Structure 1
Amino acid sequence: MSAAEATRLDHGDEAGGLETLRQGLRVSPELARGWWITGLLALTMTAGRIVVPIAVQQTIDKGLSGPGGPDMSFVAWMCVVCFGGVLITAVASYFTTVRLATNSERGLATMRIKAFRHVHDLPVLTQSTERRGALVSRVTSDVDTVSQFLQFGGFIFLVSLGQMLLATVVMFVYSWQLALVVLVCFIPLFASLRFLQARMSAAYGVVRAKVGEMLSAIAEPVVGAQVVRAYAIERRTQQRIDASIEEFRRTSTRAQAITGITFSIGGLAAGLANAGVLTAGVLLGVDGHATLGEILAFMFLVALFSDPVQIATQVLTDAQSAFAGWRRVLGVIATPADVVDPGADGVTQDRGPITIEFDGVDFAYPEGELVLRDVSVRLEPHRRVAVVGETGSGKTTFAKLLTRLMDPTSGAVLLDGVDAREIAFSSLRERVVMVPQDGYLFDSSLADNVRFGRPEVTDAQLLAAFESLGLTDWLESLPDGLDSPVGQRGESLSAGERQLVALVRANIADPDLLVLDEATSAVDPGTEVRVNAALERLMAGRTSVIIAHRLSTAEAADEILVFDDGRVVERGPHVELVTAGGVYSQLHDSWIAQRSAG
């Protein structure tokens, strides 16, 4: 598998049915637990159904048409047998359904857990390029499709298979000639199923993909509803949603059209089988090779054989959709993580002042050009370092490598002389914390969001964290203080207030290295002064790396790293770099000109 393929979620979408089943059972072994008990229950249920046509044949040929005349006691006994068969079928059906439902829910719960856990381990490139609606569809809608099939389709499949096999055996016992007539009539159906299976699988694979695209098209304007309204693009957005829904309808209709062919052939085969048995049965009866009871029993058996075959066409349809969804879920789980936690084998570092070193670091996205080139820098403890450069120069990649959201293509990132890849995540995340431009908030209380990384923190400690950043007055201005709801994505707060929460969250984490992706660039003017003051307090006494999108941020740094085309081309304090007349000086002059023009 190439590096690019490793970041794709669809690299397993072409797997066949058996391979998908094998992979699925490996991921969710609960699905196959006690399979022989479930199979035995299904056979018992089928045997109960087969008892009825046999009892009918015996009633007619021996109970009503025997040599000594009608034998009502025998007829009564056959009625008891029929009732027993129906009762056995009902009881076995109940336990088969319960076992299938229990095993499938346990197995799919395991699959959901593994899929959701693995989403956080997916390569950063995959997370950023895969549509969120499509990714959510893989671990929700697709799993639900598999669940419905395993519970209901699996039940029908087991019963139908057992019923067909037992009905075939009993038909051959009664009359091999009539049994052959039935099988010959169903040959066209079996051939068509074989021919259409690959086409159905491909068609329903496209359907499942379109479901993800449709959910993504619907989800994005819901999340960005304010932007949609602000720019009056409701009609264009609705047209995009309508087009996505229409595309899903087309693909679904094409898939159902293939299914319709199998239904038609199945109905034709069942009709031919009934007509053939009736005709051949009469001819055999005239010659004395078949009794009336046997012919009637055969008609029952044909129904028991043909009904599952016809139902199987619908099961096959559901199976194609379910297996397409199953492959998509397995595709998420099978996508290898690009950043692996060494776990118990990793190094646990002591807390304290931290030294950072990039040693000959190169980085490139899969099958892409180098984003960072031979970066070698050393950052001393307690320093405030700003990273500047044009868009695409490698600033953000530098930050992601520093926080180990990604690993270098070559070279190493060292924390206190230890390769970051060898440090246990638990230790690394304690020492290094990143505050993004727009801190994500969850739909919960302010307190829950602040203590998100450290749930054991008490309310008293939270209040102390707000106080240490000079934010007590802001906290007290909120209606419910720590219990104030922030809404989905923090919509109850302004952009600046969301950033304040992110800073307090980082303060609670108390890292040795603080990485800031220009924490004030998206802040509203009314809160910027408060954010800057809190930021100064947060950075005091600890190593800080600031990805500066505005040079005003860089001016206050102890040292500035200037990136250009993936390389560190300049390094030093603000005054020194401005007078040097290099890349930073040009950036500074451009920024001054823009500020003057504004």
Structure 2
Amino acid sequence: MDADDVVYQAPLRWGLIARLLRFLGPHKLRMAGNVVLVGLSSGAMLLGTFAYREIVGCLEVGPEYRTRFYVWVGILALNALVVWQLEYYREMGLVKLGQRVLLDLRMTLFRHLQRLSLSYYDRTKQGWIISRATSDLGVLEDIITWAVPELSRIVFLIGGGTIMVIVLAPFLFWVLAGVVPLMVLVTFFFHGHIATAWRAVRTQISRICANLAENIAGVRVVQAFTRERRNLHEFDRLNEEYYRARVKAAIVHTLYFPSIGVLSAVATAAVILLFRWQGEAAVSRLLQSVATSGDLLRVGWYASVAILASPQPIRIKDMIMVLVMLRRFFEPIRHLSHLYGTALGSMAAAERIFGLLDTEPDVKDRPGARELPTIEGTVRFDGVTFAYNEGETVLENINLEAKPGRTVALVGPTGAGKSSIINLLCRFYEQQEGQITVDDYDIRDVTMHSLRSQMGIVMQEPFLFSGTVMENIKFGRPEATDDEVHEAARAIGAHDILAGLRNGFETEVQERGEGLSGGERQLVCFTRAMVADPRILVLDEATSSVDTATELKIQEAVDHLVQRRTSFVAAHRLSTVRSADQVLVVQGGRIIERGTHTDLLARGGEYARMYREFLREG
């Protein structure tokens, strides 16, 4: 498991936060509207608290305030309805905003992934990339869409509630001033431990999932080597570790709410005691005792209390208001703690996502690159040297020329450099030395789109996408008509086979072509290349993964496909290269022989040896 897979939190970094908030730029009016709804909703909640105060006040003074009592009850009920509506529209607005921002982020990420060079995918695990576009984006949703409204709610509720208490019951303000900071400290203290415990839980879940995936994917090997009992023991160990981590997280989480309950009980007791104490008289007695003690610090403290103290005795309705306000304060404090933890988690996700977005393609259009016009198809390699990794040369001083409409075959053992030549021609990678030209245009001076749009590629592994056979054939040229597809299939001799599928050309193809045989998948790929009508055709070991009977059928398709096109055929099976106009024997990154099939056999060199071995293998 990579370290990236278990890093769930990172320190707050304002640079990352600023980059994240830029994605809110196109939606700033919607976000501003949501903040307004937060302000209205918070104000309505505080009005509800004030309504509680007035209702209790009416009960306190007697039945002569019955009308006023019912008015405030009605206001409280109406206020609850208003809060519900405001919260509904606020939540719906945030959900839409969050999904819209995620859509923008996901599209930005997908667009960038399509720009990255193949070298990036060579060195990066597929699961890591998918995780960035799924789980990490999900983590960012909370901080991007909920942070600003939640911070606004905290400010409105705590700020507005504090002002209300100071104005209506100033002496009880000191209860809030003493308890709320303690709530904040306890919340953040427990949140750190809770976050650590849940990180351990998520780590164990990841390990269990990885173990399951590995055992399911390798079930044949597991059964073949009778590893069931040992694998079961390993899975049981992972389950036990998850159990312990989950119980520990539950214990820490369970301790949090009773701790807050204790603070709430202390605050409630303090409010009741102050109510019993009768505010102003108690303060006077305290000031008198402190003055005689000579403790100047305590004198200053109680003097400030006296300034804020109400000249009237504390009333029951004020006590009830403060008790309700304590509960009102607890929710935003808890949300602030959760928001802080979410922000830490988002920083780790943001670092990974922006690390991916900041990765520059190794191969990209040069500044001022121009469009490649319609080509004839002359291809030249002049002194080309290439290495995937520095110091590990794969191709050295490659020189070749392919005339328009001619076929060049590349043969040689596995790892000789055949596919590397094709990769350079398609500009999937870029050579360190030498020049590659198409119709005398250096392929580094033209846009990659204009180059590749005039090329067709059939690879060793016939890759198909989910969809119908027809959709896969039109993949390189979506505007092609069905008639053009049928005509192309007939031209390469694939029509009868594809039409004979379960639903013909409308047969659904599963992921990676599951449901079709290897030969059927390859014929779909050849038809796809034919429909694209490329000027340069590249076949990279296109028949190596099929049986001999299927190879004969595919060879007929190849013979039709290469007509009137410049074609490069990399092959391990020499049966596919006998009709090539030029055969290049590649070995150790160099071209050691070149000529026609007949010429090379007559020379009795490496190609002749390879061909004799091929015939012996049948």
TM-score of Structure 1 vs Structure 2, range by shorter chain? 0.7 to 0.9
The aligned residue for residue 167 of structure 2 is 173
The aligned residue for residue 314 of structure 2 is 290
Worse-superposed segment, 393-402 or 293-302:
393-402
> Gaps spanning 5+ residues in structure 2: where?
283-311
Tell me the CA shift for residue 31 of structure 1.
Answer: 5.2
Q: Percent identity?
A: 26
Compared CA separation, residues 11 and 182, structure 1 to 2 (3 A): closer
Q: Tell me which of 44, 49, 56 is aligned to 1:48.
A: 44
Tell me the CA shift for residue 193 of structure 1.
Answer: 6.0
Compared CA separation, residues 568 and 90, structure 1 to 2 (3 A): same
Contact 1:138 1:212 (8 Å CA) reproduced: no
Tell me the CA shift for residue 517 of structure 1.
Answer: 1.0
Tell me the CA shift for residue 513 of structure 1.
Answer: 1.1
Contact 2:381 2:434 (8 Å CA) reproduced: no
What code does the residue aligned with 1:348 have?
L
Contact 1:440 1:490 (8 Å CA) reproduced: yes
Contact 1:404 1:420 (8 Å CA) reproduced: yes
Tell me the CA shift for residue 79 of structure 1.
Answer: 2.9
In structure 1, C-alpha distance between the alignment counterparts of 2:604 and 2:197, rounded to whole Å = 62
Please show how residues 540-559 of structure 1 align to structure 2 within 5 Å: 540-559=563-582
Please show how residues 154-553 of structure 1 align to structure 2 within 5 Å: 158-175=152-169, 178-191=172-185, 235=228, 266-283=260-277, 285=279, 287=282, 290-317=314-341, 320-321=344-345, 324-325=348-349, 327-341=351-365, 346-365=370-389, 369-553=392-576
Contact 1:354 1:380 (8 Å CA) reproduced: yes
Residue by residue over 1:377-426, the C-alpha shift from the partner in whole angstroms, topping out at 9 and shown as x without a partner, is: 44333332223344334332322221122233455432222232332344
In structure 2, C-alpha distance between the alignment counterparts of 1:569 and 1:154, rounded to whole Å = 67
Residue by residue over 1:437-483, the C-alpha shift from the partner in whole angstroms, topping out at 9 and shown as x without a partner, is: 12212232222211111122222211211121123333443343322
The aligned residue for residue 132 of structure 1 is 126
Contact 2:416 2:589 (8 Å CA) reproduced: yes
Q: Tell me which of 99, 104, 111 is aligned to 1:110.
A: 104
What code does the residue aligned with 1:99 have?
G
- Check if 1:36 corresponds to 2:37: no
Contact 1:359 1:414 (8 Å CA) reproduced: no
Contact 2:462 2:525 (8 Å CA) reproduced: yes
Worse-superposed segment, 463-472 or 283-292:
283-292
Residue by residue over 1:76-132, the C-alpha shift from the partner in whole angstroms, topping out at 9 and shown as x without a partner, is: 343344334323322321221122122112111222222233332233233344443
In structure 2, C-alpha distance between the alignment counterparts of 1:107 and 1:476, rounded to whole Å = 44
The aligned residue for residue 293 of structure 2 is none
Worse-superposed segment, 133-142 or 91-100:
133-142
Tell me the CA shift for residue 505 of structure 1.
Answer: 0.7
In structure 2, C-alpha distance between the alignment counterparts of 1:512 and 1:226, rounded to whole Å = 45
Residue by residue over 1:237-288, the C-alpha shift from the partner in whole angstroms, topping out at 9 and shown as x without a partner, is: 9869888888888888887777667656544544443344444454354635
Tell me the CA shift for residue 509 of structure 1.
Answer: 1.0
Contact 1:355 1:379 (8 Å CA) reproduced: yes
Aligned length: 584
Compared CA separation, residues 21 and 231, structure 1 to 2 (3 A): farther
In structure 1, C-alpha distance between the alignment counterparts of 2:195 and 2:585, rounded to whole Å = 53
- Check if 1:24 corresponds to 2:48: no
Compared CA separation, residues 245 and 15, structure 1 to 2 (3 A): farther
What code does the residue aligned with 1:47 have?
G
Contact 2:498 2:520 (8 Å CA) reproduced: no
Compared CA separation, residues 503 and 250, structure 1 to 2 (3 A): farther
In structure 2, C-alpha distance between the alignment counterparts of 1:398 and 1:13, rounded to whole Å = 44
Compared CA separation, residues 373 and 214, structure 1 to 2 (3 A): farther
In structure 2, C-alpha distance between the alignment counterparts of 1:32 and 1:254, rounded to whole Å = 42
In structure 2, C-alpha distance between the alignment counterparts of 1:247 and 1:375, rounded to whole Å = 56
Compared CA separation, residues 273 and 316, structure 1 to 2 (3 A): farther
Residue by residue over 1:498-553, the C-alpha shift from the partner in whole angstroms, topping out at 9 and shown as x without a partner, is: 11111111111111111111111001233111011111221122211122233444
Compared CA separation, residues 467 and 228, structure 1 to 2 (3 A): farther
Compared CA separation, residues 158 and 232, structure 1 to 2 (3 A): farther
In structure 1, C-alpha distance between the alignment counterparts of 2:239 and 2:522, rounded to whole Å = 37
User: With structure 1 as the length reference, what TM-score do the two structures score?
Assistant: 0.81
Worse-superposed segment, 174-183 or 412-421:
174-183
Compared CA separation, residues 393 and 273, structure 1 to 2 (3 A): farther
SS, match of residue 120 in structure 1: helix
SS, match of residue 346 in structure 1: coil
> Gaps spanning 5+ residues in structure 1: where?
1-7
Residue by residue over 1:313-370, the C-alpha shift from the partner in whole angstroms, topping out at 9 and shown as x without a partner, is: 44555555555555544444443333335799532311323323355443334x6744
In structure 2, C-alpha distance between the alignment counterparts of 1:244 and 1:574, rounded to whole Å = 59
What code does the residue aligned with 1:41 have?
L
What code does the residue aligned with 1:514 have?
L
SS, match of residue 515 in structure 1: strand
Q: Who wins on radius of gyration, i.e. which is larger? A: 2
